Amino acid sequence: MRLINMGYGNMVAADRVMAVVNADSAPARRAVQDAREEKRLIDGTAGHKAGSVLVLENGMIALSALQAETVAARLQSENEGER
């Protein structure tokens, strides 16, 4: 299992991430609110503003303070490292 840093020392399993979404979009905000109410939210922002929302394959939602482009680049470099 390979982990990627999603900011402030928090890690997520790279192979479990299904989508990385900008946290400012309305659908992402609704997904975060639903996940919070259903206790499926992992807040990795360390008190900072959320920059991206990571949708995990088990239905959990993870918040990152990093921008979606940064997280996606880390995922992409992780995938290229496997080859």
Q: Is the model's pLDDT at 52 over the cut of 80?
A: yes
> What is the pLDDT, as a whole number, of residue 82?
66
Query: Is the Cβ–Cβ distance between 6 and 54 less than 8 Å?
Result: yes
Report, as an integer, the average pLDDT of 22-35. Answer: 97
Give tens-digit pLDDT for 29-51: 999 999 999 999 999 999 999 99
Q: Is the model's pLDDT at 83 over the cut of 70?
A: no
Residue 82's alpha-carbon distances to 19, 54, 56, 70, in angstroms, are 19, 21, 20, 19
> What is the pLDDT, as a whole number, of residue 80?
76
Cα 21 to Cα 65: distance, rounded to the nearest angstrom = 12
Q: Is the model's pLDDT at 81 over the cut of 80?
A: no
Domain ranges of the chain: 3-82
